Amino acid sequence: MNADLGRARVRPADFGAFVRARGGSGALVVQPRMGFGDPAEMRAGLAATKAADASTVGTITLDSYTRVGDLPAVAYALREGSGLNGYPIVSYDGAVTAAMLSGLADHSFPVQVRHGSAVPGDIFSALIATGLTATEGGPVSYCLPYGRTPLAESVRNWADCARRFAELREYGVEPHLETFGGCVMGQLCPPSQLVALSVLEALFFQQHGVRSVSVSYAQQTNMDQDVEAVFALRRLCAELLPSPDWHVVIYAYMGLYPASRTGALRLLGKAAELAVLTGSERLIVKTVAESVRIPTIAENVDALEHAGRVAERTVPGPVPADTETYREAHALVAGVLDLDADVGRALQLAFRHGRLDIPYCVHPDNMGRARSYIDDDGWLRWAELGALPLGGVVRSRRSTVVTSTGLLTDLSYVRRKFDEAPDALTRGG
């Protein structure tokens, strides 16, 4: 570790402190999902993000080969000049990445590395060696939806990486980890379980020594329900996280995105409103091109500035009283933490016994008995609880048979809602 940090050429920034200083209480830091295989293009993207007319942080999103550890495929793509869908930080020499970041990444513009790996050891080594101190993921959220890595292996991998990351503090650096648990599956996971997973992954990170964390929540199908969920997330973090160094990051909708420019901008605007209404500090944006291709740098900047403008004209909302979403999320978190004092072991036991169960996730370690549906008001509800510890907590559940047709209809609900009649249907959520 000492040798890695000694080689680092990027001046480390405190990502968590930066966001908490510039976001929350009506202010919002916005961030793209940007990632390019070519260092010059990646640098241009970061420079454009930094220059955008909004409060921003930078993103380096890694390519899909690096995420699954297929480094020979990265080498072949680089040798043949084939395009990559992200930045291959493990395969580039550290000096290449340092040069790409030189003069951009500093205390006024922290940069986060985003990936999606259940086997992230090499990725952590690369970003530590380069001096990058912020990344995201989680033992559950980067395992169950993305592949077949056993959950136990992912928990071991993420525990090791979190401990290595936390050691950076010995050298005067505050590493930051963001949970991806609030975004599991992208859509059709009821908000209470998203909240619970985000809190549990934050507890996991802090148990392994990382003090500075952010907790994610992905915009779902109804604004009122999302507001409940984010306030439930904030309340549980205040109650349970041992370190006060945390903030909330909202993700613009991650499912089937509107195909029209009007629909896409309106949905992004709703995500910005959700962030400000709930006092959230940071927003991950989406662009008008999301439904058809990887967006350009200019489209990312347009999205950042649109979200920033919406945020400026939105004011924080009142904190709701005790809600059903909070009670469900609290019951799920308590049902997991009761299983073992070690959060990693508790998470494994919870999935084995169905106390956590992600609807429509086909990973072998997911029980697969819980189901969800979208009701007539656009709220995402439980259709089947399986073994989730929510008996007596979920009041609005109805016995619902989820058919293939119904599932497909629900998967395209948000796209239809914002594409077909955005003015009439999206006014309230």
Give pLDDT, residue 290.
85
- Please give the backbone phi and psi of residue 392, each rounded to the nearest 5 degrees, phi first: 85, -10
Structure confidence by residue, pLDDT tens digits, 213-268: 999 999 999 999 999 999 999 999 999 999 899 999 999 999 999 999 999 999 99
Cα 45 from Cα 59, distance rounded (Å): 9
- CB distance 114 to 135 below 8 Å: yes
Q: Which residues contact 387 (CB under 8 A, 6 or more apart)?
A: 353, 354, 355, 357, 367, 369
Give pLDDT, residue 402.
84
Give pLDDT, residue 397.
59
* The model scores a pTM over 0.85: yes
Give pLDDT, residue 148.
85
Give pLDDT, residue 400.
74
Give pLDDT, residue 427.
43
Give pLDDT, residue 3.
46
- CB distance 283 to 216 below 8 Å: no
Structure confidence by residue, pLDDT tens digits, 137-179: 999 999 998 778 999 999 999 999 999 999 999 988 899 999 9
Residues in the chain, pLDDT under 50: 1-3, 6, 424-429
Cα 88 from Cα 61, distance rounded (Å): 9
Q: Would you state the torsion angle of the CA atoms of residues 112, 113, 114, 115, taken in this order, to the nearest 10 degrees? A: -170
Tell the residue number behind the tokens 């400026």, with chain if given: 312
Structure confidence by residue, pLDDT tens digits, 57-79: 999 999 999 999 999 999 999 99
Angle at 281 between CA 278 and CA 285, to 5 degrees: 95
